[in-house]
Structure 1
Amino acid sequence: MIKEIDADVVVIGGGPAGINAAIAAGRSGARTVLVERYGFVGGMSTAALVYPWMTFHTMDGRQVIKGIAQEIIDRLVKLNASPGHVRDTVGFVRTVTPYHPEVYKVVALDMLCEAGVKLYLHSFADEAEVEDDRVVSVQITGKSGRMRIRGNVFIDTTGDADIAYLSGAPYWQGRDGDLLTQPMTLKFRMKGVDLQRVKAYMLEHPDEFNDKTPIAELPDLPLTGVGGFSKHWQEANLPINRQDVLFFTGPGDDEVLVNSTRVQGLDGTKVEDLTLAEELGRKQVLQYAAFMIESLPGFENASLSQVGAQIGVRETRRIEGFYALRMEDVVQAARFDDCIARSGYPIDIHDPLGRGVTAAWIGGDGAYDIPYRCILSRTIVNLLAAGRCISTTHEALATTRLTPSCMATGQAAGTAAGLAVKRGITPHDIDVKELQALLIEGGAVLEQVREG
């Protein structure tokens, strides 16, 4: 016998987008359920060690993502679990936001509880029941067997557009032509790192680090990240297809999070490929950690302390919405009448097969709009998406996939779902102006920000 559960809003996927979507929907008064496959929330930010969050700001330092995301950061700061927004010493963006993932798990749970959200952990959605052009229910499987959750509005925050796929909604995957996706990365932490020695080496050998590294300002800045050590990396000649070393500092004073493994040519929606990716990624972690200890100044007494519970997946499926955000929209700082979120993160495409990263910078005021049409399924009238699987091209995904952007689209999707329930209509039919007013009331930034 399958247990039946009724809800107004059903959110599948407990990563940052799903957390913010469920909080927003719950705050609207809608009966909200959040389903997450792990025994904790946080998604890639916790299970895959995606750290730090980058970025909430434009390159000139104007904050364009606030709302629920900023509420989370404020709580973390009060708990000494984040320094807040600080300069990015890699230089790729203006700011990064370090945080303690274990504290984030609890803060997010507290906020979900306060919003009245019913949480089902250790549960995996494996079936969607569709009637005409609506999802009627999803089936989840867990330790207690199968349960069916009926709802009025469903939000896909799985990162992989799993609910869109299960419901038969159209989707895209990978880049045009060969359908290849950005590589996966298994992240890991090292402790016992002498960060003062790392910083001193950077100041003595600036030519070995990224061109955008703010070397002139570095003596007065806390070290938050390092991109480079190019000489050491080239001499090591490891069989990992990337150009240099990339790591970020924290949360401990002697800790770093290494974002440098690279698993290419595999499909993150296929269990066989994911299995192989985990195997390859974990072997790369051991190779990379040994290289850092043997070769990098400041790592002489370091040791491997943590590896992600799963490999980090940058790209799989994306829903087909009423509009697909394009690379041109990003670099031209496009404005849309139905804007529901903004972002200042540049295009950041990790090559599906090669060694490099393709970057493109945002013009105009330094931020672009994400329109409501990008989070609406084109064919399923009560299905929204948020996070990594919104409607974009392969190129534009390379900015919308970043966590702060996912948090912003999550709040938008949850607010839209709550509004649809309140009005007794589908998300397709809501008044976008009313949605925008609610988002602004909830702290979201939808207009150009002129202050510094």
Structure 2
Amino acid sequence: MSTASQTIKADIVVIGGGPAGVCAAIAAGRSGASTVLIERYGFVGGMSTAALVYPWMTFHTTAGKQVIRGLGQEIIDRLAAQGASPGHLRDTVGFVHTITPYHPEVYKILAVDMLKEAGVRLLLHSFTDAVQVTDGHIQSIQVTGKSGRFNVEGSIFIDTTGDADIAYLSGAPCLKGREEDGKTQPMTMKFRMRGVDLAKVKQYMLDHPDEFYRKTPFAELPDLPLSGVMGYFKHWKEANLPINRDQVLFFTGPNEDEVLVNTTRVQGMDGTNIEDLTEAETLGRKQVMQVADFMTKSLPGFERASISQVGAQIGVRETRRIDGVYALQVADVVEGRRFDDVIARSGYPIDIHDPSGKGVTAAWVEGDGAYDIPYRCLLPQGIRNLLTGGRCISTTHEALATTRLTPSCMATGQAAGTAAGIAIRHGLNPGDINIAELQQALRDGDAVLD
């Protein structure tokens, strides 16, 4: 049996290179702390790149007020400067006010550039498979890659794996799925199609509004760039595909004749079980072929379309999350509650893809349209030098249905990295830092907390 022979040391160790991890590592690196980011793929971006989760939604409330900026907005601005994002566009699905398209291949490069600018050491093709804990402190993690096994030691660790892998391996209490039965939201294999006549799609929507989502902004649609479509209810029902969903959903771009299709649905699988994941990947790819064939044969505007890309892995909405110091509740979201230890805000609604049925359960945020995410949601119980960011922060199953979205993950990632930097500077555990100092540092980083 091989053993870890090399040791890498850093002040802050971030595990998981998705949007939350990228923002956490950049924030930690900019604080002056030595920082390592560990990612299992050969590129960063997480679900945004490996699983084609596109576009980012949403940085705004339903009324159009921007409530997430910070590093997320900086990334968008830099993508836009390279012609790789149009910025925030009106959501022509009508589910939220804005969505943010981006070119994933440019994002992969830009994210690495920003990490290097912040002094972050990046370890790709590296998978964490063990955590060493002493008296409630993580001492090191064991990482396996092409060059064998090695240890990474740190003072503070940030779990942005999406699946709470580090928290789980460390022994911190975790939860999975619905409280009553453990069932999780379904997985989706996303894919792109080129050769789509979007002008024809838009005209069909205007001519047949009853076949599309009721909140589609039809009155404004003639003057808006088509950014997303939900509907084709009649066509979908007639096709009678063996996919437990009730409509077609796709988003346009990044190219003029291109769409990202979010319509497959794999239910009843555990995204932390390798046999379930294997089956989900296989079933998801079969569903891609079924959906693409249906779209080219049945949907106006798709007559000349063809598959141009399928996700490197299936998109996972929900697996483990920490059972943290505080769990964000559905009432906190819907009622737009404020918290003294706020470290991020979000205007994305509750958006639960039914674990076993066809539909989606949605609930919008009341009041000013935004809710607070408290710092306590980033803190696990039992492990004092661990923070979380992104999809695995502490929430209920229902509240996860909003915090799992990418802009919120970017915001909680930035907060985790900033908090870790403050903890290193003062020689404290993350749970002992001054909240006012953290909030001021986040405001200085252009985060929206008010």
Q: Same fold (TM over 0.5)?
A: yes
Out of 310, 314, 328, the position equivalent to 2:313 is 310
Classify the secondary structure of the residue corresponding to 1:384. strand
Classify the secondary structure of the residue corresponding to 1:306. strand
Q: Are 1:386 and 2:389 an aligned pair?
A: yes
Out of 232, 236, 245, the position equivalent to 2:235 is 232
Cα distance in structure 2, aligned partners of 1:202 and 1:428:
51
Q: Are 1:148 and 2:148 an aligned pair?
A: no
Partner of 2:137 in structure 1? 134
> One-letter code of the match for 2:104?
P
Partner of 1:82 in structure 2? 85
Cα distance in structure 2, aligned partners of 1:246 and 1:5:
45
Out of 55, 66, 69, the position equivalent to 1:66 is 69
Cα distance in structure 2, aligned partners of 1:2 and 1:101:
36
Partner of 1:361 in structure 2? 364
Cα distance in structure 2, aligned partners of 1:415 and 1:136:
21
Q: In the TM superposition, what is the alpha-carbon distance from 1:71 to its structure 2 partner? A: 0.5
Partner of 2:409 in structure 1? 406
Cα distance in structure 2, aligned partners of 1:322 and 1:426:
14
Q: In the TM superposition, what is the alpha-carbon distance from 1:177 to its structure 2 partner? A: 1.3
Q: Are 1:26 and 2:29 an aligned pair?
A: yes
Cα distance in structure 1, aligned partners of 2:431 and 2:223:
50
Deviation per CA, 1:30-83: give whole Å up to 9, x if none. 000000000000000000000000000000000000001100000000000000
Cα distance in structure 2, aligned partners of 1:136 and 1:244:
49
> One-letter code of the match for 1:89?
T
Cα distance in structure 1, aligned partners of 2:380 and 2:394:
8
Gaps of 5+ in 2: none
Cα distance in structure 2, aligned partners of 1:319 and 1:108:
26
Classify the secondary structure of the residue corresponding to 1:264. coil
Partner of 1:190 in structure 2? 193
Q: In the TM superposition, what is the alpha-carbon distance from 1:176 to its structure 2 partner? A: 1.2
Cα distance in structure 1, aligned partners of 2:156 and 2:347:
29
The residue correspondences of 1:173-188 to structure 2 (distance < 5 A) are 173-188=176-191
Deviation per CA, 1:339-390: give whole Å up to 9, x if none. 0000000000000000000000100110000000000011100000000000
Q: Are 1:432 and 2:441 an aligned pair?
A: no
Calculate the aligned-residue CA RMSD, in Å. Answer: 0.4
Q: In the TM superposition, what is the alpha-carbon distance from 1:312 to its structure 2 partner? A: 0.3
> One-letter code of the match for 1:221?
L
> One-letter code of the match for 2:206?
L
Q: In the TM superposition, what is the alpha-carbon distance from 1:2 to its structure 2 partner? A: 1.4
Partner of 1:171 in structure 2? 174
Out of 312, 317, 322, the position equivalent to 1:319 is 322
Cα distance in structure 1, aligned partners of 2:385 and 2:5:
23
Percent same amino acid at aligned positions? Answer: 73
Q: Are 1:249 and 2:259 an aligned pair?
A: no
Q: Are 1:352 and 2:355 an aligned pair?
A: yes
Cα distance in structure 2, aligned partners of 1:3 and 1:347:
45
Deviation per CA, 1:263-321: give whole Å up to 9, x if none. 00010000000000001000000000000000000000000110000000000000111
Structure 1 stretches (4+) deviating beyond 4 angstroms? none
Cα distance in structure 1, aligned partners of 2:367 and 2:180:
31
Partner of 1:204 in structure 2? 207
Classify the secondary structure of the residue corresponding to 2:59. coil
Partner of 2:44 in structure 1? 41
Partner of 1:450 in structure 2? none
Q: Are 1:282 and 2:285 an aligned pair?
A: yes
Partner of 1:294 in structure 2? 297
Gaps of 5+ in 1: 448-452
Q: Are 1:444 and 2:435 an aligned pair?
A: no
User: What is the aligned length?
Assistant: 447
